[in-house]
């Protein structure tokens, strides 16, 4: 970011902006923990396995702006980089994903700006995940600023695939030999059938327990 920051004013607004994104992550993180606790309280079940949050590094913000042909400026970064604040929600079953997505959409102070459902329509890489771009109001002493947060919701199995695929693919900088891409897609299919099996197994177990109770 060094050459992007030209004067003191920019430094100050860079700090202010990163403060906003960090605050937005805190807000959304707390909201999700409350949803999870409420779920545990009502249904005796935790849909969320874990929550990861991160703020994009200045280096990767600059890289993304360059990649998409934008001049490096704070204005462009706020406008065009949607994943500066990112939350990853890892849950147990595919059914939890849509339930969580709906619960997030129902929070009246969050605005859902966009949804990308890579579970219904996986990427050609094989990537599956449910992405929500939301904005959350951050209350400052003299103003309210709507701040964007990207929420990625996926199962443990989808996360396992995405993490390893990212590691493998990254090494090739996008130029992986065709057979590697193909095998990664095959792994994605294996991961999907694992998810389906676990979901139906869980349903069978719940039915079984219900019958025993009756
Ligand atoms: P990015 O420029 O990559 O952020 O893409 P985008 O602005 O079109 O958004 P999209 O919703 O497609 O992807 C956003 C994020 O999803 C990425 O930053 C990754 O974290 C994740 N992602 C998307 N595609 C893949 C993929 O093929 N493999 C892995 N491992 N992750 C992916
Ligand atoms: Mg991204």
Atom of ligand 1 at shortest distance to CA of 123?
27
Q: Considering only CA atoms, which residue is closest to atom 2 of ligand 1?
A: 64
Handedness of CA 150, 155, 156, 159 (dihedral sign): negative
Model ipTM value: 0.92
What pLDDT, on the 0 to 100 scale, is given for residue 8? 57
Catalytic (active-site) positions? 150
Which ligand is closest in space to the CA of residue 67? 1
Dmax (CA) of the chain:
72
128 touches 189 (CB < 8 A): no
Identify the burial level of 51 via C-beta atoms within 10 angstroms of its C-beta, where 0-12 means exposed, 13-18 middle and 19 or more buried: middle
- For residue 83, give the ligand 1 atom closest to its CA: 4
Q: How far apart are CA 36 and CA 118, in angstroms?
A: 23
Rounded to two decimals, the pTM is 0.91
- One digit per residue, the tens of pLDDT, for the chain of length 214 reads 444 445 556 667 888 899 999 999 999 999 999 999 988 888 888 889 999 999 999 999 999 999 999 999 999 999 999 999 999 999 999 999 999 999 999 999 999 999 999 999 999 999 999 999 999 999 888 889 999 999 999 999 999 999 999 998 877 877 888 999 999 999 999 999 999 999 999 999 989 998 998 8
């Amino acid at each position: 970011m060094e050459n992007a920051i030209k004067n003191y004013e920019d430094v100050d607004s860079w700090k202010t902006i990163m403060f906003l994104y960090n605050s937005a992550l805190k807000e959304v993180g707390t909201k999700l923990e409350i949803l999870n606790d409420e779920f545990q309280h009502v249904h005796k079940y935790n849909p969320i396995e874990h929550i990861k949050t991160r703020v994009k590094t200045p280096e990767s913000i600059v890289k993304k702006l360059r990649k998409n042909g934008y001049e490096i400026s704070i204005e462009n970064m706020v406008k065009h980089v949607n994943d500066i604040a990112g939350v990853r929600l890892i849950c147990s079953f595919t059914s939890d994903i849509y339930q969580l997505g709906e619960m997030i959409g129902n929070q009246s102070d969050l605005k859902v700006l966009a949804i990308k459902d890579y579970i219904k329509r996986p990427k050609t890489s094989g990537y599956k995940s449910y992405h929500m771009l939301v904005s959350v109001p951050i209350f400052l002493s003299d103003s309210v600023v709507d701040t964007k947060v990207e929420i990625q919701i996926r199962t443990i199995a989808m996360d396992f695939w995405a993490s390893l695929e990212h590691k493998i693919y990254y090494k090739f900088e996008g130029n992986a030999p065709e057979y590697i891409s193909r095998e990664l897609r095959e792994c994605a299919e294996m991961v999907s059938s694992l998810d389906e099996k676990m979901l139906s197994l869980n349903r069978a177990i719940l039915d079984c327990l219900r019958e025993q109770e009756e």
